[in-house]
Amino acid sequence: MSLKVLTVCLGNICRSPAAQGILQAKAAAKGLDIVLDSAGTAAYHLGKKPDTRSIAELRKRNIDISGQQARQIVQQDFNEFDWLLVMDKSNLKNVQAICPPEQQHKVRLFASFALNSSMQNDEVEDPYYGGDEGFAIMADHLEALADGFLETIL
């Protein structure tokens, strides 16, 4: 059975779709059987494609996330997924608050998988209100964390 991973942010249009795309690409390159999806804690952008700036930044890295559609996290996700990887501490608090006690171990700050232990408490900062450069920084950070995650679970 495949490992199932859900990436989670606030709006599900900037960070978690990018994290999904990057993890998917890296897992495929390593021949790993991982099923990915993403969700937001909020319902602001239901059904929308990722932010055009996330799509553009990932396209530069040969990853196409334009087919994704925003959705909100639901209770079933806690049964369905092996890992729920959240981008920041506010996401962590919000997801932990709705997660059944027996599934809490699945919910982790994505940065907790950073290979550099001094970076394991970091947040993947929300680039939504900033400029394009924030999306490049986000994608660099997500690439490093995806490497850390895949190395850790292998």
Active site residues: 9, 15, 126
- Per CB under 6 A, the list member of 12, 24, 38, 94 interacting with ligand 4NP is 12
Query: How far is the C-alpha of 87 from the C-alpha of 93, rounded, in Å?
Result: 11
Contacting range for ligand 4NP; rule: CB under 6 A; set: 3-11, 25-33, 57-65, 92-100: 3-11
Nearer to ligand 4NP, 100 or 130 (CB): 130
DSSP tag of 14:
S
Give me the least distance between CB of 143 and ligand 4NP, in Å please: 16
| Sign of the alpha-carbon torsion through 89, 131, 137, 139 | positive
* Residue that the structure tokens 């639901």 belong to: 74
- The interface mask with ligand 4NP, positions 109-128, x = CB under 6 A, is -----------------x-x
The alpha carbons of the chain give a radius of gyration, in whole angstroms, of: 14
Which segments within 2-142 are labelled E, that is strand?
Answer: 3-9, 34-40, 83-86, 107-109
Is 63 a binding residue for ligand 4NP by CB under 6 A? The answer is no
Please report how close the Cβ of residue 117 comes to ligand 4NP at its closest, in angstroms. 25
Count of residues interacting with ligand 4NP (CB under 6 A): 10
Closest to 5 (Cα-Cα) out of 54, 30, 19 = 19
Task: Give the interface with ligand 4NP as residue ranges (CB under 6 A).
Answer: 9-15, 44, 126, 128
